[in-house]
Each structure stands twice: as C-alpha cells, then as structure tokens.
Amino acid sequence: MGGGTALVTGAGSARGIGKAFVEELRRRDARRIYATDLARQGVETLAADDAGGCIVPLTLDVTDEQAIAAAAARCTDVDLLINNAGVCFPSRLIGALDLVGARREMEVNYWGMLAMCRAFAPVLAARGGGTIVNVSSIYGLVNHPYVGSYSASKAANASLTQGIRAELRDQGTRVVAVYPGTIDTELSASNPSRDKTPPQVLAAIVLDGLERGEEEIFVGPDALDVAARLATDGKGVERDYAQALARRLENRS
C-alpha cells in the first residue's frame, strides 16, 4: 500500500476493525487514508493522533447515496476501498420481535456496501483498476442462527463480492472478500468466546493477503476451522450451529 490512497468505512469505532485498518495502512506508508464513519468524533480523533497528517476524517453514512456520491466526487485519488462498516443485532430470523434489526442489517451490510462499490468503481477505473475489500463474516458462509439475520446479510454481501469481481474484471479492479471469525471489538462484546482475534491482527493479515494477491481471506482460528469443515462437511457445520443455538436458549431459560 506504500504510496497509495485508501478509504475505509466504519473507521471511527474506538476498538473496531476499521480503526485497525487505518492504523495498519498508516504503518505501511499509505499516502492518504480517508477514515470515514457515521459519526465524526472517532475519525477526527484518529486524524488528530496522526502526526504525519495522512489521515483525512470524513463523515459518511453508507446508506446515504447522496453522501456517497459526494465522497466519490471528492476522493478521486482512492486506489483501495475497504468496505468495513457493518451492524449486527442479536436478532434471530423467526425469534426476533420484529424485522427492524434484520432490515437495518441488510441496509448497511448489503445495500450500503453495494452503493459504495457502485460509486467508487469509476474512481478506481480512472486510477487504473485499484482494489475493493469487502468485509463479510464467516457467518456469511454458514448461518449462525443466534444472529440469523446478520448471517443472511453477510451471505448477501459475500455474493455481491463475487458478482462485482466478475463485473469489474475488465477494468482491472481486484475485488477481495474477507471472512473474519470472532474479532475482539464492540460488535462481538456479547459473544462469550474466549478466543477472539484482535482487530490489529486482522488488519495485518488482510493487508498481507492483499500483497500476496489473495481474493478470499479468512481471519481467526474459528474462521479457518469453519472454512476447512465447509469444504468437506457443510451439513455437519450447520448442525453444530443449530446445537449451539439450542444450548444458548436452554441456558437462558
């Protein structure tokens, strides 16, 4: 990434993956990094802590198409787009009280990502191709029914990544999917796992993977384990998650 320009969405969360991407890109000598998020405070703090002045804070709601168009018109030097913004509500598909959380997950995790890719595809083309990194989840490849609607939204974004990869091949844009397991951020705070991967480790693994030309990047022991098992025993993985849901519901009652 040395010398290039990146834009990261959802970068303002104090211990989030987006912030870790910005800091790792900075360490790897990115020329400029647009650190964007819904709220300004987190990304402004990131920029204020950067003595070199490479980090440019921007407010950007990935569900607001006008704001996205304005960002694409302004950030015409982007070579690397990291679609990281995401939401997760602990909502089951049938067990949730209503569809509010499920709709919001689709709005941010799928429609927001698609809108960002559409707006920045011409910017990347003008730069000679560039790279899009879409952050999905290992639960995009197998539904974790405790967060069933989140998993469905991540499955949609995994599929959109494949489609966009095919559509943008001719303009030379590389499109990369990231499938993290459980990462130690606010989003996974209610997950009782004791084996969470630090977001800084994820950022380093993904940027190393980009340097090696990888298209699908799995991060964390749980993601690697599920990916390996999906290749040979997809139904077994599905059954395990169904049992995990049953155990959690039993413990709660």
Ligand X SMILES: NC(=O)c1ccc[n+]([C@@H]2O[C@H](COP(=O)([O-])OP(=O)(O)OC[C@H]3O[C@@H](n4cnc5c(N)ncnc54)[C@H](OP(=O)(O)O)[C@@H]3O)[C@@H](O)[C@H]2O)c1
Give the residues lining the site for ligand X (CB under 6 A).
9-10, 12-13, 16-18, 37-39, 60-63, 84-88, 108, 112, 135, 137, 180, 182-183, 185-188
Nearer to ligand X, 121 or 183 (CB): 183
8 A C-beta contact, residue 146 and residue 188? no
> Is the Cβ of residue 86 or residue 148 nearer to ligand X in the bound state?
86
Q: Which residue is nearest to ligand X (CB)?
A: 86
For residues 178 and 104, give the distance between their C-alpha atoms in angstroms, rounded to a whole number: 21
Instruction: Between 48 and 126, name the residue whose CB sits nearer to ligand X.
Output: 48
Token pair 């211990």 in the structure block, residue: 15
* C-beta separation of 81 from 130 below 8 A: yes
* Least separation in angstroms between CB 253 and ligand X: 26
Give the C-alpha separation, 138 to 115, whole Å: 22
Q: Distance between CA 141 and CA 124 in Å, rounded?
A: 28
Active site residue 150: yes
List the beta bridge partners of residue 217.
178
Q: Provide the minimum distance between the beta carbon of 110 and ligand X in the complex, in angstroms, as a whole number.
A: 11
- The rounded distance, in Å, linking the Cα atoms of 71 and 62 is 10
Q: Is 86 helix (H, G, I), strand (E, B) or coil?
A: coil
In the complex, what is the shortest distance from the CB of residue 128 to ligand X, in angstroms, rounded to a whole number? 27
Q: In terms of CB distance, is 5 or 139 closer to ligand X?
A: 139
Least Å distance, CB 103 to ligand X, is 13
Token pair for residue 53? 């002045």
- Report the DSSP beta bridge partners of residue 133: 82, 176
Q: For residue 34, what is the enclosing H or E element?
A: strand 32-37
Q: Report the residue number, 83 or 173, with the smaller CB distance to ligand X.
A: 83
Q: How far is the CB of 105 from ligand X (least distance, A)?
A: 9
Report whether 136 contacts 177 (CB < 8 A).
yes
117: left (phi over 0), alpha (psi -120 to 50) or beta: alpha
Task: Out of 34, 139, 146, 150, pick the active-site residue.
Answer: 150
DSSP string computed for 200-246 = HHHHHHHHHHHHHT-SEEEESHHHHHHHHHHHHHHHHHHHHHHHHHH
Catalytic residues: 150
